[in-house]
Amino acid sequence: MSEWKAKRFWKEATVTEQDGGFGVALDGRPVRTPAKAPLVVPGRSMAGEIAAEWDAQQGEIDPNTMPFTRSANAAIDKVRVQHSEVADMIADYGDSDLLCYRADAPGELVARQAAAWDPLLDWAAQELNARLIVAQGVMHVPQPADAIARLRGEVHKLDAFRLTAFHDLVSLSGSLIIGFASARGHLDAQEAWELSRIDEAWQIEQWGEDEEAAAQAGIKRQAFLHAKRFFDESAA
């Protein structure tokens, strides 16, 4: 038995003004989230992105081609109702941040990690008042409690829409600091992504690129770039 899939039933998607923000209507009928909540987003520009995604659908609706819609749904249905839990989960990355775990050999990789990541840790110490400790190897090294507390506080300040995007910036890069540097405009999205892939780039240089791994990395890269766009639209 084939799975039923929703098909386009509307002629036009438009942006509408709503209490607390902007929504999207399909032939005048407001779009709702999967949990049936009103789909209301902070800015007109974000609502325009969502409307464009609905207008681009032809035949069967494909959620995979609607990243702004999916992120907005997640912000409203999931992150908004469990904000504290999500913020704590993301903040926990600070205690095992990618930037803090370094190779002990070969020398070229050690130098490459230091050149790429040390400036970001210095930036975090100045911008976020959080100095993290660097260690070699993969054994967990606890970070200073006061630094983690300050980082946690900054994560909790984010509203549901920005926290939704920030979750992906951090989880896809493996670094709370890269997430902050990207969110605050210290790094552009592509640069931030490349800095999170120092180890993978090194392995590719040594052994060549695996086709399946490259495809997965490409999917993650697109998700990371989208997360930065969604964050910026949320903050606009």
What is the rounded distance in angstroms from the CA atom of residue 45 to the CA atom of residue 47? 5
8 vs 25, residue with greater confidence:
25
* Fold of the CATH domain 13-65: ATP12-like (3.30.2180)
SS3 43: coil
Please state the pTM of the whole predicted model. 0.94
pLDDT, tens only, 23-40: 999 999 999 999 999 999
pLDDT over threshold 50, residue 122: yes
116 vs 235, residue with greater confidence:
116
Q: Which amino acid is at 200?
A: E
Q: What are the structure tokens assigned to 72, written together?
A: 């907005």
The pLDDT of residue 2 is 43
pLDDT, tens only, 30-67: 999 999 999 999 999 999 999 999 999 988 889 899 99
- Region of poorest pLDDT, from 16-20, 83-87, 119-123, 224-228: 16-20
pLDDT band at 113 (very low <50, low <70, confident <90, very high): very high
pLDDT, tens only, 173-187: 999 999 999 999 999
CB distance 225 to 68 below 8 Å: no
pLDDT band at 236 (very low <50, low <70, confident <90, very high): low
Q: What are the structure tokens assigned to 179, written together?
A: 């997430």
pLDDT over threshold 50, residue 97: yes
Q: Which amino acid is at 41?
A: V
**Nearest to 234, CA basis, from 40, 82, 35:** 40
**Domain parsing of the chain, residue ranges:** 13-65, 82-235
Three-state secondary structure of 136-170: ECCCCCCCCHHHHHHHHHHHHCCCHHHHHHHHHHH
pLDDT band at 172 (very low <50, low <70, confident <90, very high): very high
**Nearest to 224, CA basis, from 184, 166, 177, 152:** 166
The pLDDT of residue 36 is 97
DSSP-derived letter for residue 128 is S
Give residue 205's region: left, alpha or beta (phi > 0; psi -120 to 50).
alpha
Taking the domain 82-235, which CATH number applies?
A: 1.10.3580.10
